[in-house]
Amino acid sequence: MIGIDLEDLTKEYGGTRAVDRLTLSVEPGRVTGFLGPNGAGKSTTMRLVLGLDRPTAGTATVGGRPYAALREPLRTVGALLDPQAAHGSRTALDHLRFLAVSNRIPDRRVDEVLRDTGLATAARRRVRTFSLGMRQRLGIAAALLGDPAVLLLDEPANGLDPEGIVWIRELLRRLAREGRTVLVSSHLMNETATFADHLVVLGRGRLLTDLPMRDFIERHSDARVRVRSGDPARLRAALLTGGYAVTGGDDGRLVVEGAEAAQVGAIAAREGIAILELADERASLEQAYLALTAAETEFAAAAPKGA
């Protein structure tokens, strides 16, 4: 099993610190979502892992070695950085065959990845005729070509249609189940929550969060229930007795903090109180993520005057 390790990784461009003393392990067997606002340093980190840029300080290693020291890099690490990377005048098939031959990858892998990415019927079309979503699929096909243990995918869902988004979600989950290390950058917290087991958030090159997705969701989306009943005063009393914090009530509607709808429903049933409305409510994950990164956003729109 091969993971990615960053130690004090730092990259400066002129006076800008794109990546700032980043220490992090990306583990095999799970999908790690890599989030952060524009300019947070996600792409730079991926480029440093791939040896496309030199760190100013610190190290980035794959399975304990720098990328440049890997014997057969494409068989160890697959990457999607730029969906426009394929030459427009080539067909998808030629593009992948060229990559396979130059990396001593068996030709049968070309057919396999074309099939896996849903491009088999478009294989003989020139890449310049491809939509952005098809180019993404081709970039993913190229990343998968060497059957690598490690995958770095920079916004792979960009440009995909809803069916494509479901497909990529399932692909990422499968790759992790197979024991691979999967690092996927995105701007969207809600989307990332649908496929990532683990979450890393950067802000201005620094590590803001590194924890299991489940923990982030639990920490940031407090459960609460909205309930309307035939006897709000009695329901409120029963909920308070049950140890719940209850707010609202003037119009008969109550908000119960830290509860699930089933728990509130059970208390009402026990008391014989008629329930007119009952719904789980969760603070939006996207809001929690935006709050986390608000202070770290390089390109935030200025607040309008008087706001």
Ligand X SMILES: Nc1ncnc2c1ncn2[C@@H]1O[C@H](COP(=O)(O)OP(=O)(O)OP(=O)(O)O)[C@@H](O)[C@H]1O
Site residues (vs ligand X, CB under 6 A): 13, 16, 18, 36, 38-44, 298
Q: Which is nearer to ligand X, 54 or 108 (CB)?
A: 54
Quote the least distance from Cβ 292 to ligand X, whole Å: 15
CA proximity to 186, closest of 138, 162, 212, 153? 153
Q: Which is nearer to ligand X, 3 or 41 (CB)?
A: 41
Please count the residues of the chain: 307
Q: Which is nearer to ligand X, 42 or 95 (CB)?
A: 42
Q: Which is nearer to ligand X, 205 or 232 (CB)?
A: 205
Cβ atoms < 10 Å from Cβ of 99: 19
Quote the least distance from Cβ 85 to ligand X, whole Å: 15
How does 192-205 read in b/e, with b if 16+ C-beta sit within 10 Å? bbebbbbbbbbbbb
Contacts for 163-168: CB closer than 8 Å, 24+ residues apart: 164/133, 164/136, 164/137, 165/191, 167/118, 168/140, 168/195
Q: Which is nearer to ligand X, 75 or 187 (CB)?
A: 187
Quote the least distance from Cβ 192 to ligand X, whole Å: 13
Q: Which is nearer to ligand X, 168 or 267 (CB)?
A: 168
192/186 Cα distance (integer angstroms) = 7
Quote the least distance from Cβ 129 to ligand X, whole Å: 26
Quote the least distance from Cβ 267 to ligand X, whole Å: 46
First to last CA, the chain: 52
Q: Which is nearer to ligand X, 113 or 202 (CB)?
A: 202
Sheet holding 30-35, edge to edge: 77-80, 150-154, 181-186, 30-35, 198-203, 206-212
CA proximity to 253, closest of 279, 267, 232, 235? 232
Q: Are the CB atoms for 19 and 6 separated by under 8 Å?
A: no
Quote the least distance from Cβ 32 to ligand X, whole Å: 15
Quote the least distance from Cβ 53 to ligand X, whole Å: 8
